[in-house]
């Protein structure tokens, strides 16, 4: 059996958290709420762990740098995903509008 290290599982957890945040603009209804909750809990857990590491290392500057970088990444990923979704939606609406009414 393959032994999976903690670093692998932490990377998977972080990837899932960021993918959930990126999926928020692409989902709708209850799915959007569920994805937002999962992403928010994941990011909050990551931030708490980063602060814990800073306290254990007795280096609050490190903790501030880690949390600030994570928050900037969250804003970047959500904004980028939202922008791509809007452009894709505009493209589809323009394409549908150009076709006109379908023949009967």
Reported as a single tens digit per residue, the pLDDT across 46-56 is 999 999 989 99
Q: Which residues contact 24 (CB under 8 A, 6 or more apart)?
A: 32, 35, 36, 39, 78, 81, 82
Residue 79 pLDDT greater than 90, yes or no: yes
Q: Which residues contact 60 (CB under 8 A, 6 or more apart)?
A: 54
Work out the percent of the chain whose per-residue pLDDT is above 90: 51
Q: What is the pLDDT of residues 27-45, one digit of tens each?
A: 999 999 999 999 999 999 9
Element housing 100 (H / E): none
Nearest-5° angle of CA 96, CA 24, CA 73? Answer: 120
For residues 1-9, average pLDDT: 72
Alpha-carbon separation of residue 22 from 14, 25, 83, 85, 103 (angstroms): 12, 7, 11, 10, 38
């Amino acid at each position: 059996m393959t032994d999976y290290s903690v670093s692998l599982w932490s990377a998977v957890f972080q990837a899932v958290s960021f993918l959930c945040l990126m999926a928020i603009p692409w989902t709708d209804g209850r799915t959007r709420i569920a994805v937002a909750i999962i992403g928010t809990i994941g990011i909050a857990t990551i931030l708490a762990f980063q602060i814990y590491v800073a306290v254990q290392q007795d280096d609050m500057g490190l903790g501030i740098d880690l949390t600030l970088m994570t928050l900037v990444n969250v804003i970047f990923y959500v904004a980028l995903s939202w922008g791509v979704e809007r452009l894709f939606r505009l493209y589809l609406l323009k394409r549908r509008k150009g076709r006109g009414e379908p023949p009967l």
